[in-house]
Amino acid sequence: MTLTRAAESIAVPSRHLPLSPSRRLPSSWRRRCVRIIGGLVLALAIHPAGAQMLSDTALQVELVTSGLVQPTSMAFIGDGDILVLQKADGRVRRILNGALQPGAVLDVAVHSSSERGLLGIATDPDFIHTRQVFLYYTESSTGGDTSSSGSTPLGNRVYRYSWNGATLVDPLLILDLPATPGPNHDGGVIAFGPDDALHTVIGELNRNGRLQNYPNGPAPDDTGVILRTDARGLPLSDNPFFDPADPDNPLGRYLAYGVRNSFGMAFDPWSGTLWDSENGPSSYDEINRVVPGFNSGWESIMGPDARDPQGIGDLWMAPGAVYRDPEFSWAVPVAPAGVAFAASPILGCGLAGDLLVGDNNCGQIYRFRLAPGRDALVFSSPALADAVADNGSMRCSQEMAEILFGSGFGVVSDLENGPDGRLYLVSLTAGAVYRIGPRPGAVPDADGDAVADACDCAPGDAGSFARPATIARLRLGGGMIATLGWDPQAATAGPGTRYRLVTGPASRLGSEGGFASACTLRDDLTSGDYGDVRADPPQGEAWYYLARAENACGNGGFGGSGSNPDPRDLIETVPPLSCTAD
């Protein structure tokens, strides 16, 4: 298997530029910080993996690797380079070009009873420079792996590690979360959002406090929540419950609460909104669009409010909290788990942008289409007009014909977009990683770029198949050389996509009212990183940076201020000339 290349910190001064481009300061001014811009148990016998099937005959399933032991989640660290977590033995395994490597790149002591264990992994958004990897696991107090009910774990913890090319080293505790009473409902999914904030979900651990909507219960205690922090585990000042007068209040770290348990989170690549899967008890699993301040309703409401005997008046509503019905529910639990958005047209002209959800109980993957505003799910079958699958005694099939995408996968513990535009799937029961991608010859593809001609905007150019998106964020690192990083678009726009990097003196922005002094550092970059070897700007000055993706389908954008006209319009139309010094 050959994959194409995938691509915390940024130096941010105390004075932000008016149009939010990144800026480089003299070495003496630089500092590193995170950039801020504007009843399920994984029981192995529930549904073993069988023959995999997909509803779309233009797609196929390929086995990437097998031989894993209870794999829970995965992350790409490079081209064809994957780290996979094993739940019960605390080992992080490496898959390199489809081959499971011997040994482990890390072995941590886990408590693995019930849903505890080594559960979540995320790479730093600027991994290409920082080489940092984050892990969520239930840490054993014995110094070794255990599942004993007589042993109390130290906690559910998030650690940051550094990747040295062969192993994960230098652990640093980021979040120290509870693990009792449990032992189930530990959550464990971690993910960085498009704002580079770290999102961590933990279940309610069978507690009954205010965060579980008991108005007179114990105070907030980091259970049943989605935390939103910087990469050091600190609260962000734009969190919905953050109070600058009380910065140590636990509420300040939360994006959402009232979560029973979750094994899946994903950010919509188009809107940036967070979606999650939530597991119900004997009824009503959920798919939710997570807005800031979201109260998901547990333990008072599960599923739509109209179907629950309790109501919004029974909830504990923190100041700024908002209740929303789920976007979709299963009346009889299928135990949704891994969640991802189909990010690339390589997965099909009609699939790109849809929400995919794997499950635990049926071994299936479900496909959900989003409304044009990407703020709701839409259904064509009358049975789903109420956004509920009343699946009754036929738990895995009734009222689900419209949304069924794949079957035979066992426990689908993770779904991830790959740097090759394919969808990768972790099966806990099969001990395997699968890949879903186009079936060769299934659709016309004149240039052989794996995207059907019907939605390929450059059907004669194998390097381009979609117009690039705007690069809204640059990550700037300090040091002897200023390093810049951004999210690459080879998988979503084409491997021939190139990047133009523009710079200029920050002091001229105000006086010129735009970018008249901008110049192009490079216009031929092939990956999402660059090291600026120019001399530091003079003391008191700073360079700003803007980047744009370009290919045969057109250009993305340098980002915008929202004004009309926008100061960037000049350089969007006519790119600046090359800088005199590179």
8 Å CB contact between 336 and 362: no
Its sign, for the CA torsion 235, 239, 240, 245, is positive
Any idea what DSSP says for residue 535? Answer: P
Predicted local confidence at residue 566, as pLDDT:
78
CATH 2.60.40.10 fits 22-32+463-573, yes or no: yes
pLDDT of residue 49: 59
- Quick one: three-class SS letters along 453-487? HHHCCCCCCCCCCCCCCCCCCCEEECCCCEEEECC
Domain spans, the chain: 22-32+463-573, 65-337
User: What pLDDT shows up at residue 562?
Assistant: 63
Q: Alpha-carbon torsion 289, 294, 297, 298, what sign?
A: positive
The amino acid that residue 287 corresponds to is I
- pLDDT confidence of residue 22: 46
Q: How many CA atoms lie within 13 A of 348 on its CB side?
A: 20
Contact assessment for residue 451 and residue 347, using Cβ atoms and an 8 Å cutoff: no
pLDDT at residue 41 in the model: 36
Find residue 301's DSSP bridge partners. Answer: none
CATH homologous superfamily for the domain 65-337? TolB, C-terminal domain (2.120.10.30)
Residue whose C-alpha is closest to residue 264's, from 416, 472, 99, 492: 416
User: Which amino acid would we find at residue 20?
Assistant: S
- Share in percent of the chain as helix, strand, coil (round to 5): 10, 35, 60
d(CA 12, CA 35): 7
pLDDT for the residue 53: 96
543-564 confidence digits (pLDDT tens): 999 999 999 999 999 986 666 6
CB 192 within 8 A of CB 201: no
458's tokens:
């450059």
Question: In which region does residue 456 sit, left (phi positive, over 0), alpha (psi from -120 to 50) or beta (all else)?
Answer: beta
Reference 329, options 258, 274, 384; nearest CA is: 384
The per-residue pLDDT for 7 is: 27
Kindly give, in sequence order, each residue whose CB lies less than 8 Å from that of residue 95, ignoring residues fewer than 6 positions away: 64, 65, 81, 82, 83, 84, 101, 433
Q: What is the pLDDT of residue 516?
A: 86
In the chain, which residues have pLDDT < 50? Answer: 1-47, 582
Q: Mind listing the pLDDT tens digit for each residue in 57-84?
A: 999 999 999 999 999 999 999 999 999 9
Give the pLDDT confidence score for residue 35 in this predicted structure: 27
Q: Output the pTM of the full model.
A: 0.91
